[in-house]
Chains A and B, each alone.
Chain A
């Protein structure tokens, strides 16, 4: 059995790529997120202040069987309400949809525009997911997969939103789009609105004239603090495509306590294992 001993030794000495632990952590993150998403949406994170109104609409390729009980909870006295426009959790044709779409109700043009933009993104996301899934299925059968093996495959398509903060006239919320099967990707869109002035809030509104310097200093400090004792950080160096500066397109939300939190897309300024980098600006 010496021969096997040598073979096992060669096997045990398989070179381990440096990015393995990062990839495992990314898998852990994604798996936990999907587990939470799967467990259902009974734990609404934004608590009792949010008005919730679930309604089933045609146009999103919904089947009536997945309609959830609609209940209107008018608790907001301000200039607007954020409602759950569509909320469904169903599996159809191998795709597990977990879709919760917000809708803003307010006087003025802004709410309608924001709703239209969100709807457009939802439609595009669902269409892309369907296309990805069809491509995968085609490849699966073309390479000898059987119906039986296909049957237990499932892809997740997730749309969700979270209200980060709200006041009489302002609201800050985040809409998340995710698609997951063999690989996964999460995209987030940030909405910060002032309904009394019927316009988007900008970083300048929140942080003043020096918003670029303020943000950059806070972000650079936090990136520097992320370096561990071995000199490792998930963040890329500026010359490797890492963080350089914020600008008008930088996403952010506002916490209940008024803190502005600047966010960057997954993989944009850091390795995937860092998730979606968020920087509170103090």
Chain B
């Protein structure tokens, strides 16, 4: 298989994963479909920028997350990934009977994304850093901030 064929099969095989991730960020069916289509198109268009075929998952996830960011920005809900210094410590009051999934969705985007990538997509901190363009310590502090907000006990949490 050529590099392009390998990439194409990867994009097709992982399409439901891509959609889930896009949907979890955008919470809108049409926008999530658009984001996936755009990301797939960009990936093939810029296939030469994939230097290490072993890193295709993080490489593509980054393209997908950027496509989602573009959508959020066009919507007017600006949620950039700040370089450093997430706002910590503020506990959002959530109804006690609300499910964790809903509380994750209510997190600020930059924290929520880290949580989703870690626990839903089961990516390592290093991979999350590559996907979001943050360094590991930022990823870590966002993860802790997210867990604190979610009031999930940190014992036994593998990070």
Contacts and interface: CB of A to CB of B under 8 A. Distances in A.
Contacts of B100: 3-4, 6-7
Given A11-B120, A31-B40, A31-B42, A140 B73 contact: yes
Contacts of A139: 74
Interface string B34-53: 10111111111111000000
Contact of A27 (B36, B120, B156): B36
Contacts of A12: 20, 120
Nearest to B12: A24
Interface in A225-277: none
Given A23-B37, A145-B73, A7 B119 contact: yes
B104 interface: yes
A24 B37 contact: yes
A35 B47 contact: yes
Interface in A86-100: none
A158 to B, nearest CB: 12
Contacts of B20: 11-12, 14, 16
Contacts of A180: 41
Contacts of B76: 142-144
B101 A11 contact: yes
B33 A17 contact: yes
B4 interface: yes
Contacts of A24: 11-12, 15, 18, 36-37, 40
A69 B18 CA distance: 45
B29 interface: yes
Nearest to A27: B40
A3 B73 CA distance: 31
Nearest to A11: B120
Interface in B1-34: 4, 8, 11-12, 15-16, 18-20, 23-24, 29, 33-34
B41 A30 contact: yes
B37 A6 contact: no
A35 B99 contact: no
Interface string B97-139: 0011100100000000000100110000000000000000000
A183 interface: yes
Which 8 A-B residue pairs are closest in the complex by CB-CB distance? Answer: A31-B44, A27-B40, A144-B78, A31-B41, A7-B101, A27-B37, A34-B45, A27-B41
Given A12-B20, A14-B23, A142-B76, 15 more contacts: A4-B100, A7-B119, A11-B20, A11-B24, A14-B19, A17-B33, A19-B33, A20-B33, A20-B36, A24-B12, A27-B37, A31-B44, A32-B44, A145-B73, A183-B34
